[in-house]
Amino acid sequence: MSLLKAIIGQQLSVASARAINTRFLNFYKGDPKPEIIINTNDEKLRELGLSFPKIKYIKDLSNKIITKEINFINIKNKPDEQIIEELTKIKGVGVWTVHMFLMFTLGRTNILPVGDLGIKKAIMLNYSLKKMPTEEKVKQVAEKNNWSPYNSVAAWYLWRSLEMNPESI
């Protein structure tokens, strides 16, 4: 999952995000260059299913790549916290988006997306909690169950558990 794909997928179901991403890639006939995205009419991007805020975020990402404020060369060699610090400077990119990028693009195995609604819901259901856990509670559950250094794997299983749990629907 590229950072662009992570932005497109914010606050959407997996199916909706996939559909918009497919339209986006089909429109550009593959991964577009930042210079091309910057010059694409906002209304055309709206037709692909992107909201105006996401258009702003995608164009900000493109601009920061063009101006070299963000450099993806050797990003995989940087520590997680440095990547989070750098990428959250992009408009609309928060910690959740960077967590998804770290997990699904860079293949980091020890990312715990504590702010993810699905993770919280899965912990609530799998650990028989009466209410949705806070981010701090998510961290406590992970620590108590020794998920580190495989927090990403635990997250994946938590997400899958929602697919199998009728209470989660």
What span, in angstroms and rounded, lies between the C-alpha atoms of 36 and 138?
41
What span, in angstroms and rounded, lies between the C-alpha atoms of 129 and 124?
5
Of 98, 82, 90, residue with least CA distance to 61? 90
Q: How many Cα atoms sit within 13 Å of 135 on the Cβ side?
A: 7
Structure tokens at 56: 């702003």
Q: Is 116 a catalytic residue?
A: yes
Single out the catalytic residue among 31, 42, 60, 116: 116
DSSP states of 24-82: HHHHHTSSPPHHHHHTS-HHHHHHTT--HHHHHHHHHHHHHHHTTSS--TTGGGS-HHH
Which residues in 104-158 belong to E strands, given as ranges?
A: none
Catalytic sites, residue numbers: 116
